Amino acid sequence: MSKSLEDKNQMGLQLVDVNQKNYQKKQIDESQYIQISEDEQGGDQAILISSKQDNKKICFQIKKVYRNTLDFLKKYSKQTIGVVSVIFSILVLASYFSLKEKCPYDSDHTCLKQFIFPKLFVWICKVLFNSLATVIQFHILISKSTYTLIPAYGFLQSFYLFIFNDNTINLHYYMGGINAIHIIIIAFLLLVYGLIRIWVACFKKYKWICFFGNLSVILTVLILFYYQSILHGCDYWTKGINGQIESQQSSCNILLPKYCWYKITHQWQDLSLLFPTCENASTSQNQKLKIDQFFSPYVNSSQFIAFKNLNSIPEKNRTDEEIQATAFRQSKGYSSLEQAFNDQYDVVFDRKEQKYHIDVQFNKTLSEERKKIANENPSKPLSKNILIIFIDAISRQSMHLKLPKTVEWFEKRSRMHSYVPENKQSEEDKKKSQSFEFYKYNSLKPYTYDNLQNLMYGQYVRDVEVSEEEKLVSIVEDIKQKGYVTGHSSDQCQTLSLSFDYETFGLINSSRYDHETQSYACDPNFQDPESKFGLFQGPYSIVRRCLYGKTMAEYPLDYAKSFFKKYKDNQKFMHLEFSYGHEGTGEVINYLDDPLSRFLENMTDEGLLKDTTVILLSDHGLHMQGIFYLLQLKNVFIEINLPGLFINIPPELNEKYGDQIALNQQSLVSVKNLHHFIKQIIVGEEYENYKQSLFNHLQFQKQCHDIGVFDSGNCSCK
């Protein structure tokens, strides 16, 4: 017993001795840093060591603060993360409302250049921060890192702000577009976040089996995707209805992309698949209330609303900013459909049935007047009728990809390799209509107004200064003076897509057609008066455009068909416009193909396109490229300069000029040449500027500067 006690005492003494030695060692270690005199070490060395002592003291203190901070965060982690979540919520709120800026200028053109572009980088940074903060809030919420209500509030706050708070997009206010970018980025980040969590959970449970299993699946998908989509993704790019893009010495040779991302991602962004088809979309009570709100002040409770032809109203009421309000004010109420048509209204809306009735009213006086002009005209036009179908923002290649049925209509009437000089038409070929595709049709600039102003006025409107008496006159006036009855319809609430706004108002006279309507495009259930550029409604919607159970494109096409029927004995000029390519996904254009191809086939079958030159054109490629622009993909910037141009000419025109026009399919051409082509059709063989027309072999146009394109960024040539 005593021995055991003695052993314990001995062990205790040893432990005390060890502790004393450790303490002494610690004192010695510290003395190395703080107890060195100048006498022992010398002046310079002492200062150096003293400095090291100070630095190590600071490091020691920093480490101490760091350890204490970690201990605090571990102890109060829920509270700390909660504070971080609250800070994120406040910052997102402040950042969001700082984006609510209104453009102070009168026109969208000026707003784009002087307001949007200078602020774009800051806006994108704020959107990225808001999106990332929202995903972090979501992570905090599902990981239960703090009290549930705090991150739940932050996430729901963002959800409300980006989806429900303010989706207005008009000429001066852009929150709807900014919110759309928020939603896209957040959706992408949440997808990536979800995949990472699934992979981590899988790896924790199955370790390397999960890793190699996922890796093999990913590699298999990538290999198949590469060989099926990427390797052969550009096979279609150079091909056309009667050949392909040809290389020529000392002339424009088109830049070719290595990867064709529009084909690779075809239909990937088709958000319309998430919504019901136009035929299955039901009419809501809200739609009826909107009609009441905007039309009742002018038509009271009338069942039928008739829309006036707006070609006679003052210029200031025809601008892009005023046209919708003008359509509301000029409407007239009727108790019966027959009465409205008897009063010469082309378009009438039935409020009870929620349906548009379209029937172009034949104007006998107008018809006889134009026939008289045509008969007295000493030079005869080259084509009795002209049908122009303009589609905003689609390249030649995308027309083949997105509008295959429409392009097929032209292809069935084309002749293979007709552009080869030695490949002349046979006598049998000359008795048929012939289609052409212009493979090197280059836009003048990547903007609608610059190209369409050259089409309609023959020059850049913004490049001139004129007095009120010298305002430029549209080609439509020349067409009417040659005895044509003119018509126009569009899926946009505008007089024309070339932007007749406050800036161009003082430079040009708007194009006034004998029969024109913007009625259905100005319907408040299609274009929201408060948000013209709506994401899910209106002419720039990123989903299928519907109105009262029909595809929006069907309305102007029905109008054109009625116009051709009513004036079957007159020379006619019909101008149709569609904005289906003018949106960020590049997929809405898919839903124009069926109605447009069906229209062309039906018009052909009914003999309405006899003696008609059909022109299908665009102004430039897709320039609202969304994700493609952010990734700076090369083919996007090549295609933006290569719009589509297809022309089908009737037999009598083909017989005389078919071989000549065919040669220009491989020439570098622009919308200016098309302007002169139309002019030559209506004027006849004596047209003074025929050398600039597609009727003339334009072999002298070899490089972009020859067609007036001096910015290399706007040129598609190598």
3-state SS, one letter per residue, for 673-686? HHHHHHHHHHHCCC
- Burial label, 239 (beta-carbon count in 10 A; 0-12, 13-18, 19+): middle
User: Is 222 in the same domain as 317?
Assistant: no
| Residue 486 contacts residue 573 (beta carbons within 8 Å) | yes
| Final residue of a structural domain among 169, 200, 226 | 226
| Amino acid present at 212 | F
Q: Is residue 611 part of a domain?
A: yes
User: Is 446 in the same domain as 537?
Assistant: yes
Q: Is residue 517 part of a domain?
A: yes
Q: Is residue 12 part of a domain?
A: no
| Residue 272 contacts residue 478 (beta carbons within 8 Å) | no
What percent helix, strand, coil does the chain show, rounded to 5? 55, 10, 35
Q: How far apart are CA 350 and CA 329, in angstroms?
A: 17
User: Is 305 in the same domain as 200?
Assistant: no
| Final residue of a structural domain among 211, 226, 241 | 226
Q: Is residue 371 part of a domain?
A: yes
> Residue 454: which CATH number?
3.40.720.10
Residues sharing a CB contact under 8 Å with residue 588, sequence separation 6 or more, in sequence order:
272, 541, 542, 543, 544, 545, 580, 581
| Final residue of a structural domain among 196, 211, 226 | 226
- Burial label, 367 (beta-carbon count in 10 A; 0-12, 13-18, 19+): middle
Q: Which residues of the chain have pLDDT under 70?
A: 1-52, 73, 107-109, 169-171, 462-469, 497-506, 624-635
User: Is 185 in the same domain as 281?
Assistant: no
Pairing mode, strands 434-437 and 550-551:
unpaired
DSSP annotation of 406 reads: H
Buried-exposed string 530-546: b where 16+ CB fall within 10 A, e elsewhere:
ebbbbbebbbbbbbbbb
Q: How far apart are CA 153 and CA 718, in angstroms?
A: 55
| Residue 599 contacts residue 625 (beta carbons within 8 Å) | no
Tokens, residue 7: 């052993």
Residues sharing a CB contact under 8 Å with residue 524, sequence separation 6 or more, in sequence order:
290, 291, 293, 294
Tokens, residue 167: 């989706």
Q: Is residue 103 part of a domain?
A: yes
Phi, psi of 616 (to 5 degrees): -110, 120
Q: How far apart are CA 520 and CA 517, in angstroms?
A: 8
User: Is 516 in the same domain as 434?
Assistant: yes
Q: Among 123, 113, 99, which Cα is nearest to 173's?
A: 99
User: Is 422 in the same domain as 561?
Assistant: yes
Across the beta sheet with 645-649, the strand order is 434-437, 645-649, 612-618, 385-391, 571-578, 484-490, 515-517
Q: Which residues are 688's β-sheet partners? A: none
Q: How far apart are CA 713 and CA 693, in angstroms?
A: 25
User: Is 287 in the same domain as 208?
Assistant: no
User: Is 363 in the same domain as 490?
Assistant: yes
Rounded to 5°, angle at Cα 66 from 61 and 68: 95
User: Is 214 in the same domain as 304?
Assistant: no
Tokens, residue 569: 């004995």
Q: Is residue 242 part of a domain?
A: no
Neighbours of 10 (CB within 10 A): 10
Tokens, residue 718: 């190598």
3-state SS, one letter per residue, for 498-522? CCCCCCCCCCECCCCCCEEECCHHH
List the domain range (segments joined by +) for residue 394.
Answer: 271-714
User: Is 282 in the same domain as 374?
Assistant: yes
User: Is 323 in the same domain as 453?
Assistant: yes
The number of domains in the chain is 2
User: Is 434 in the same domain as 340?
Assistant: yes
3-class SS of residue 580: coil
Phi, psi of 377 (to 5 degrees): -70, 120
pLDDT of residue 625: 63
Q: Among 271, 343, 295, 248, which Cα is nearest to 542's?
A: 271
Q: How far apart are CA 533 and CA 544, in angstroms?
A: 14
Q: Is residue 43 part of a domain?
A: no
Tokens, residue 52: 């090291």
Rounded to 5°, angle at Cα 527 from 320 and 117: 60
Q: Is residue 601 part of a domain?
A: yes
| Residue 349 contacts residue 327 (beta carbons within 8 Å) | no
pLDDT of residue 73: 67
Query: What pTM did the predictor assign?
Result: 0.80
